Chains A and B, each alone.
Chain A
């Protein structure tokens, strides 16, 4: 039962190889042997005697005051007070063939160290009294009301020998003894209690026996120490079970062993009963031999002791402490279980001790050679249990604090500031790196598109604004096609707060020239991932617009072009040379300057030329190219540079009206729609291929199934037709898979072109309808340039859904245009429903047209 655990106060481990049995434990009263404290004696069968001296609770270095090898097995050890005045504290050690009474004495040679040694006072050898007999147990008492304590030793042949000091005074033999049993002496009634092997408790009145013996011996002239007399018991009681222990309870002791201590006195009412611990029960027998009560034990008892209880402040109640083989101890009073507790050891012997200042400690000697002192599961008396300290909620304090916080906004949000401030900031700077080695290893099948002068170094400065150090900050860069870097991820092992860390990333345009296409974006994304102490796993992102020189080079302008975009501005255009000064390499400067004044040509890495032609007088410029998609990058770059140039001028003289860029001609939707159609048709082909390949896979599975079926069949048939089938399928399967590979490459090119076309269209829409940045951002988010890789969920699905939502949520709610818009939308929706299920560009074209039409109308208003 593990409801409570006994509180261990002190413990000591003896040598685990030694064997300890019941009777190996004894306790001396306080201040015996002139030692201040309680002495505990532990002896093992191997013959090692240990004496512990305990001053109080807790361990001390000098607890073990003596450890000596007696060189003989120890059967029992007892403490006793001998001598005339009963003040001679002695240890009685019972060996199989010898009884030794000894005392502890300070070693004179080592008196300074207060070392003790065992001094044998009296020795008695059993073999002298007749043959080789072996002792079984002993008991100490003032037999027959003697003035001093004497020792009674029971031997295996059923003899009881009484010793006064070393003098053998009396020997007699018990009748009908097969094996000796537990022995006890009740001082008050002067009776010896012995358990016999026939499950009986026998009682011998000592005075009777002694007087009869002396009378007989006088008559016959026998020596009383020969042990030839057989005595009859005073009474006997059949217990019915083997007896383990007999404990007489008398008025001056709570424990038989303590009766010998003399000095210890307890105010206990006379209660002349005997407690008998048997194998399966515990009995209380009156000293007259009547069974008073019995209690069945449903455990295997090992030892028991009498415990005087203080109930309700009154003393005089007995309890019995019973230890079982599992280490539990039970306290019974009148067959009521008062307390149960688990000892840290499985005891072979037990003593209830009375320390000078505390009461009721249990000294247990475990079978694993651990000596432990515990108390019954509670704290010592001096520690009172205090009430639970409650943390009352003070609403006044809360209100006060809240008021303070409200009045001081800085303090209120200081934590938030602190959190926000503790971020990693990324800043970038470009540097033209002429010394860069072009032959730096990249992927081998790539070739550099431009000369080494087009290699740029991106200096990324990573700064941690918080205090302390960040570990393992990862910096990664995502670059648009065809710009590549030697590495895409960098790790900063430790980033100290306030100290920027510079990472140099070399960028250049390279790839496979045959597959090169117009770039779909010119923005690189740099991310720093880190882990702070307060915020876990954070990311800082920075978008960087890459320089034009990474994508194209200056070339001779082309006079004729298929696609032309003309943009008007409200002021005179600056010289192209000034705008694109950084693009023109110094050796070519003169050529460019001489050939044109108002035209500048650029060439992309796939060989497409784009020409910018400006008209200084009319305030317009034209961008023309043979490829529609190629225009977007130059257009956005030109406008970007123009704004930069104008800003520079306005700072110097702010007289002019603000710059206005506008597109007067209609949007080149037709070109866009062509690309969209191309996108759709390519996607349809890819889908068809996938359907084909899945049908082939089906065939494979069918063949496999057939094979498995015939494999298990009892009557196998030829499966050669399956071989023919496979021969037919495999080449087609290979062809289709090769086709898919090719189409996927083509599809990625189409996606690039589509993205570029949309970029251009967004630029044009902005200037055509004079949209501000926010409006353009909304539109861009609905018509994305990023094309998803998945075939099932590509750009078309996204855009269709997004435009439908844009039309229904934003544009149609625009008051005045509502009627017309809804009609447009309805027609589109109806057609969409007809065309549903087919991959058709019609729906998205209609939707896009509707969007731009609505924008046009709203811009007119």
Chain B
């Protein structure tokens, strides 16, 4: 032992070993330090190159199985339309066409700006994606938040992310993909795999990734599922959905994996084929029982199709497999809340709170549940907490709910103030405009109320409330023609709305008398 203690070389620990261990523990900065030190000495050190590539990929890795936002080009120049005819219940573009029984209708459960009923969980691309071209170019350009626009294409945004990550690196990009001889790399499986992931997740250059993957898959004799999966990924990012579908299917045929299944379903969702997506998810569920991501994926499609009952059954199933799934708990809470069971919803939200979720939305929901469950002492505390945590994105919603509660307790002044704050925070908050209109109407400010209803309608075209309110106001003012127009529009948005039907009946009666 004494010899070793004296020999300093024996005390040295391999940089490579340290870098690998750091990578395992996700100490990415430490790993990069070791790699950079080693690569400075020997730039051709393949082991270190491998580790550094993995490290950089991991740093910029985003879970791409979640559906991302669609670009303007995808919305406007949608070439994947399978049928121009309306497909009731089988298209994500017309969520309202699904017939449903026993579930809360649009009158009780509010809709998002894309016209689908709100779910309990905010997911990428599902809350604000305009699924129809109804809004035209203007609607297609409108982004998630006021004042922002969506990217021209999805890959456009990814390219920007890629260039941003290159800029962030000192000394320029680590790998210049354009200068690489991909054929050479394709023959070395270990390096090719990490390089492909690097191009996809770090450089965000799906074109090059597809090039490498196609070379590699030829090299592997077309029987490596991994390369097919990456090929599909690249095609998907390039918007070549049919090619992507082919590759994913081939990959699954070689070896079923969760990632490929989820991606294939995403392809179908992008193609607006929810039934096919559900079929893929179900096949995946038989292959991987208890895989919550597939159950959730299917549930999301049911939600998007306005088929709440099926969605809720799936969320329950998810919770049986994974009792800590935040999305399922939140959706169950929302479902119980909108089916008039605030006490049960409260239990779900409390569970979330116990699990350590602490955000504005949760406190807001807790406040609402407390209010409707008659626990008034807790309500305002919850809203206070929600406002403490709120930022510009969600503060308007909290103030809107404070206003709702104020209306519930009869404090109309507070309600009006709350709605005004909501509108001041988010100038596009349609619901607040609508409610302000109703309050104005009560106060006798008819012109202001009509203006508010009009604003609310412009901001949220799918909502029927501003239209019905405007129609009722016009009816009371004796402007029957205007009232008829408005009520017709309201019924277009929500055909089963009883009050609108009643108003239209009265109007028709009037017209007949005239």
Contact = CB atoms under 8 A, between A and B. Distances in A.
Interface residues of B, number: 49
A3 interface: yes
B5 A197 contact: no
Contacts of A319: none
A198 B26 contact: no
A302 B27 CA distance: 11
A291 B255 contact: yes
A1 interface: yes
Nearest to A4: B354
Contact of A71 (B11, B24, B47, B191): B11
B21 A132 contact: no
Contacts of A75: 13, 17
A28 interface: no
B225 A238 contact: yes
B189 to A, nearest CB: 4
Contact of B50 (A21, A97, A179): A179
Interface in B251-308: 255-259, 288-291, 293
A156 interface: yes
A325 interface: yes
Contact of A197 (B10, B190, B321): B190
Contacts of B17: 75, 96, 134, 136, 156
B190 A178 contact: yes
B413 interface: no
B257 A337 contact: no
Interface in A60-94: 71-73, 75
Interface string A743-777: 00000000000000000000000000000000000
A281 interface: yes
Interface stretch (A292-300, A544-552, A710-718, A830-838): A292-300
A120 B9 contact: no
Contact of B288 (A120, A242, A293, A325): A293
B11 A72 contact: yes
Contacts of A199: 193, 226
A238 B260 CA distance: 14
Contacts of B451: none
Contacts of B258: 281, 294-296
Contacts of A281: 258
Interface string A559-589: 0000000000000000000000000000000
Contact of A156 (B4, B10, B16, B320): B16
B54 interface: yes
A296 B289 contact: no
A344 interface: no
B215 to A, nearest CB: 15
B108 interface: no
B356 A2 contact: yes
A692 B318 CA distance: 83
B218 interface: no
Contacts of B256: 291
B191 A325 contact: no
B354 A3 contact: yes
Contacts of B12: 96
A100 B321 CA distance: 46
B25 A156 contact: no
B14 interface: yes
A822 interface: no
A244 interface: yes
Nearest to A134: B14
B290 A336 contact: yes
Interface in B117-141: none
B1 interface: yes
A293 B288 CA distance: 6
A179 B47 contact: yes
Contacts of A198: 189-190, 193
From A199, A240, A242, A281, name the one whose CB has the most chain B CB atoms within 10 angstroms: A240
Contacts of B193: 198-199
Nearest to B5: A71
Contacts of B35: none
A447 interface: no
Contact of B13 (A45, A123, A300): A45
A178 B47 contact: yes
B447 interface: no
From B4, B5, B16, B229, name the one whose CB has the most chain A CB atoms within 10 angstroms: B4
Contacts of B226: 199, 238, 240
B190 A176 contact: yes
B224 interface: yes
A340 interface: yes
Given A73-B13, A96-B14, A240-B257, A334 B290 contact: yes
B16 A179 contact: yes
Given A136-B17, A335-B289, A178 B11 contact: no
Contacts of B20: 179
Given A72-B4, A176-B190, A178-B50, A302 B25 contact: yes
B359 interface: no
A22 interface: yes
A95 interface: yes
Contact of A3 (B25, B290, B320, B355): B355
Contacts of B51: 179
A72 B10 contact: yes
A249 interface: no
A155 B283 CA distance: 43
A117 interface: no
From A2, A73, A178, A293, name the one whose CB has the most chain B CB atoms within 10 angstroms: A178
B323 interface: yes
Interface in B345-359: 351, 354-356
A348 B324 CA distance: 23
Interface in A241-292: 242, 244, 279, 281, 291
A50 to B, nearest CB: 18
Contact of B54 (A1, A72, A242): A242
Nearest to A245: B24
Interface string A802-829: 0000000000000000000000000000
B46 interface: yes
Contacts of B356: 1-2
Nearest to B189: A198
A846 interface: no
Nearest to A178: B190
B322 interface: yes
Interface string B398-429: 00000000000000000000000000000000
From A134, A179, A244, A291, name the one whose CB has the most chain B CB atoms within 10 angstroms: A179
A55 interface: no
Nearest to B3: A125
A179 B191 CA distance: 11
Given A136-B17, A198-B193, A238-B224, A348 B25 contact: yes
Interface in B5-52: 5, 9-14, 16-17, 20-21, 24-26, 46-47, 50-51
A367 interface: yes
A96 B13 contact: yes
Nearest to B290: A335
B191 A178 contact: yes
25 contacts: A1-B356, A21-B25, A22-B25, A71-B4, A71-B11, A72-B5, A95-B10, A125-B4, A132-B9, A156-B14, A178-B47, A178-B50, A179-B190, A196-B190, A238-B225, A238-B226, A291-B255, A291-B256, A295-B258, A302-B24, A302-B25, A335-B290, A337-B321, A340-B324, A367-B25
10 shortest A-B CB distances, which residue pairs?
Answer: A335-B290, A198-B190, A2-B356, A198-B189, A197-B190, A337-B322, A134-B14, A73-B13, A21-B21, A178-B190
Interface of B: 1, 4-5, 9-14, 16-17, 20-21, 24-26, 46-47, 50-51, 54, 58, 189-191, 193, 224-226, 229, 255-259, 288-291, 293, 320-324, 351, 354-356
Given A179-B50, A294-B258, A325-B26, 10 more contacts: A75-B13, A95-B4, A96-B12, A100-B1, A179-B51, A197-B50, A238-B224, A238-B255, A244-B24, A336-B321
